Amino acid sequence: MAEQRISFIDPDSITDEAMIAEFERCAKFGTPRPESQAIRAHRPPIMMAFATAWKDSFHEGVCDHNIKELCRVYVSRSVKCEYCGNQRSEKSRNAGVVEADYMDLLNFEKSDQYDERQKAALAYTEAITWDVETDDALWKRLHTHFTEPEIVEL
């Protein structure tokens, strides 16, 4: 990883119960890493807003968590963020997602490693990440495999 540019707040110095609980949740579930939250802890309201959004859209929600994890790692890998790309969701790991499942993410459309539902989600993720123009074909793929609430969550 490149040189750290923003310091971590020492989690042991935090006295706010909600923030302490968030650090414990991060350690238990693997994403985001506690270190990420230790940076956000410079601004507690931002840390807690991020924690709520992350919990509601990533750990909970209506869309399959493993698909969201593939999309999250796709973004990290495609923008070459090793820090985020090396984080793993314990929920996905416990559901059977293994390291090999991430290996062909940047070549997802040509890979036989991913099913059509996963490929549709990854194509949408690619479009959002790289501002790729979407067309009717992509939206048809998405609506074939996902409900609108799931698409919003992706």
Contact of 30 with 93, CB cutoff 8 Å: yes
Percent of the chain topping pLDDT 90: 66
CATH number, domain of 94, equals 1.20.1290.10
CB 96 within 8 A of CB 90: no
pLDDT of 96 reads 80
Residue 1 lies in a domain: no
| Ranges in the chain, pLDDT < 50 | none
pLDDT of the residue at 53: 92
Whether 97 and 143 map to the same domain: the answer is yes
Residue 42 sits in the same domain as residue 70: no
Number of domains in the chain: 2
Can you give the residue range of the structural domain that contains 16?
12-59
In a domain? residue 16: yes
* Residue 3 included in any domain: no
pLDDT score at 85 = 65
What pLDDT is attached to residue 74?
94
How many residues are recorded in the chain?
154
18 & 76 share domain: no
**Rounded Cα–Cα distance for residues 144 and 62 (Å):** 16
Query: What confidence score (pLDDT) does residue 141 get?
Result: 98
Amino acid 104 reads D
Q: Do 80 and 143 fall into the same domain?
A: yes
- Mark whether 70 and 117 lie in a shared domain: yes
Q: Provide the whole-model pTM.
A: 0.83
Q: What is the distance between the alpha carbons of residues 128 and 142, in angstroms, rounded to a whole number?
A: 13
For residue 84, the model assigns a pLDDT of 72
What single letter denotes the amino acid at residue 51? A
Judgement on whether residues 51 and 88 belong to the same structural domain of the protein: no
